[in-house]
Amino acid sequence: MTANATISKPGALGASGPGQLLMANGWDPQCLRANSVLRKEEWIEFDRTLVPIARQRLRGVNDLVSAGLTLTLGNGMGTTILQWEEVSDMDPADISMDGVTRGTHDRVNFDINNLPIYIVHKDFHINLRNLESSRRLGVPIDTTQIEVATRKVADQVESILFNGTSLTFGGNSVFGYRTAPNRNLFTITTTWATDTGESIVTHVIDMIAAAQADNMFGPYVLYMGVNYWNLLLDDYKANSDKTIIQRIREIEGISDVRVADVLGLDQVLLVQMTKDVVDLVIGMQPRVVQWDIEGGFQTNFKVLTILVPRIKQDFDNRSGIVHGAA
């Protein structure tokens, strides 16, 4: 069984050798390739493998990127905590005929939030003799290990977006859609596995109403687990020319309906895709670095990324996330 990717606290990676070289070169992996045991064509194969797999697995993350809901850090490796302020609202403006009537004095209040900027990474290695053997036989470098390592990293990043992580740093936590403390909870009275298309649509409309009650008016993306997704590919009603998913997409305010395989059974999430609800902190795009050990007889590789979800609520703890469960 292949182990999952590791989540490291800020500053937990090695501070000497290749790590220092990377920091001195702005974390450009090319600086480690000048004297690499891999040839140029072999690095190209690694890079060709990493990018499409990462994109394929990061569905929820890519939704944020496509919607422009990102914050790029100038130095992700040098940032351990991201701070931002929540700002309260003011009372409505005053109305008078002369404009000189003394109005109500008001001010906004501020609250500070902290987000740990962690690293997700997965290591593997290649033995020099195995590499030379494949070259002698004219066989292209085996990309299986980087495929699996990249998939593990992408799966971890995607899981944290939806489910959060138990990692804490300086007493601060990272929440996901399903674990955000101020999300709106919605009870699905009848599991969608046995419900009718009409009833499911009514549930979605009720979830939208729950978001609107918190002054969140869309646009929304509706996420669901695999078991619901497969069932909602069925006809909306008998002899209908639409599936249930197609009918949900027609609801005003719904921009898309998506499957999220990191969600558990009977789980549904309605997420308003605006920056006051969620964005993705980009400290480092997925990349692979390498260094030699054992006198060069073994080459170690690390696939790593800094992609951290920032789930938000306003000063009054109103959220644009509605979590439905049966």
Encode 134-167 in three state secondary structure: HHHCCCCCCCHHHHHHHHHHHHHHHHHHHHCEEE
Angle between helices 59-66 and 144-163 (to 10 degrees): 70
Where in the chain are the domains? 6-83+113-176+278-311, 184-275+316-325
CATH of domain 184-275+316-325: 3.30.2320.10
In the chain, how many H helices and how many E strands?
A: 8, 14
The percent of residues above 70 in pLDDT, for the chain, comes to 76
Asked which of 7-11, 113-117, 231-235, 255-259 is least confident by mean pLDDT, the reply is 7-11
pTM across the whole model: 0.82
Is 6-83+113-176+278-311 assigned to CATH 3.30.2400.20? yes
Confidence band for 15, pLDDT divided at 50, 70 and 90: very low
Checking if the pLDDT of 180 tops 70, the result is yes
- Distance, in Å, from the CA atom of 205 to the CA atom of 270, rounded to the nearest integer, reads 10
Checking if the pLDDT of 294 tops 80, the result is no
